[in-house]
Amino acid sequence: MKQLVDRAPSYQADEKRSDKAIGWLQDHLPKLVLAPSFTVILLFVYGFILWTVYLSFSASKMLPNYKWVGLEQWDRLWNTLTWSTALDNLFIFSSLYIVLCMLIGLFLAILLDQKIRLEGGLRTLYLYPMALSFIVTGTAWKWFLNPGLGLERTMHEWGFENFKFDWLIDSEMAIYTVVIAGVWQASGFVMAMFLAGLRGIDNEILKAAQIDGAPAWRIYTRIIIPQLGPVFMSAFVVLVHLAIKSFDLVIALTGGGPGNATAMPATFMYSYSFTRNQIGVGASSAVFMLAIIAAIIVPYLYSELKGGRK
């Protein structure tokens, strides 16, 4: 079927041979229509990537400066204390974020898969954080986690005098508040992915297992969850990429503070490029972020695109 369509333009060329110019236009029209978008992507994505890579080897400070200085900016990056904090935080954040989102998402999906009456409504509730900007919901979280205003005070008022929850202002623990808010935001989405996966499982196998008298939990651990492999993969890829890009989340919740305790690569790049006049260092941190994402996304896209052709 594909071949027929591939040949399609030539049908038109046959008809329009009388006018060569129009014939040529007809033949190439599809490509001409695609060309502007593709050119824009080439320039503004791939061109800009190369540009930023170059900047990371340049002497740029407050303004771009195209003098080549080799690895100087990279040296500076790796010797910046905030950058190692940002990488530590990225590691803590993304591992907890991914694991918790997957656990909660899978758990919710399994619960919702028990022929629940208000399933549609509940799904909507679990997913709404994904539709709102974290700049918005972050204002609520910030207040919630603020010891003097939020949860801690409320618990005191309810009679739990010794309740203490001041992670937001504790530089050791602040990154975990980012995890909590991040998981709250994305776990509903992971639930939706798992739910779609659960619905796609062959019913015959499940019925056979039920007739054999296997208990429900064993049907899940032995038959259903192993079949969700591709969903785990997709969820992992999406979550890694969300974790590395986390910017609004940190800005709205902690602003990177207390001090630099919750700095992440995304906020580091922004502040070094635009407020600290270290464009070269900012560029090298951006290149590093892209490298992590590319290492995960490129193999994934490659396998998806190949798989789609079968």
Partner 1 sequence: MSASSQDNALRSAIYWRALIYTLLIVIAVIYLAPLFVMVVTSLKSLDEVRLGNMMALPLQITFEPWIKAWGSACLGLDCNGINGYFWNSIKMTVPAVAIGTLLGAFNGYVLTKWRFKGHNIVFGMMLFACFIPFQIVLLPMSQVLGWLGLANTTSGLVMVHVVYGLGFTTLFFRNFYEAFPDELVRAAIMDGARFFTIFWRILLPNSGPIIVVTVIWQFTNIWNDFLFGASFADFDSQPMTVALNNLVQSSTGVKEYNVHFAGAILAALPTLLVYIVAGRYFVRGLMAGSVKG
State the nearest-atom distance from the C-beta of 107 to partner 1, in Å. 9
Residue 239, amino acid: L
Residue 254, amino acid: T
Nearer to partner 1, 95 or 303 (CB): 303
Nearer to partner 1, 41 or 208 (CB): 41
3-state secondary structure of 202: coil
Tokens 């799904």, located at residue:
123
3-state secondary structure of 132: coil
Contact 139, 252 (CB under 8 A): yes
Nearer to partner 1, 89 or 137 (CB): 137
Q: Supply φ then ψ for residue 117, to 5 degrees.
A: -70, -45
State the nearest-atom distance from the C-beta of 240 to partner 1, in Å. 10
| Cβ neighbours of 98 (radius 10 Å) | 21
State the nearest-atom distance from the C-beta of 245 to partner 1, in Å. 5
State the nearest-atom distance from the C-beta of 79 to partner 1, in Å. 20
Nearer to partner 1, 128 or 202 (CB): 128
Each as own residue / partner, the long-range contacts of residues 210-213 (CB below 8 Å, 24 or more positions apart, any chain) are: none
User: What angle, rounded to 10 degrees, do the helices at 119-127 and 174-199 form?
Assistant: 150
Nearer to partner 1, 106 or 142 (CB): 142
State the nearest-atom distance from the C-beta of 141 to partner 1, in Å. 6
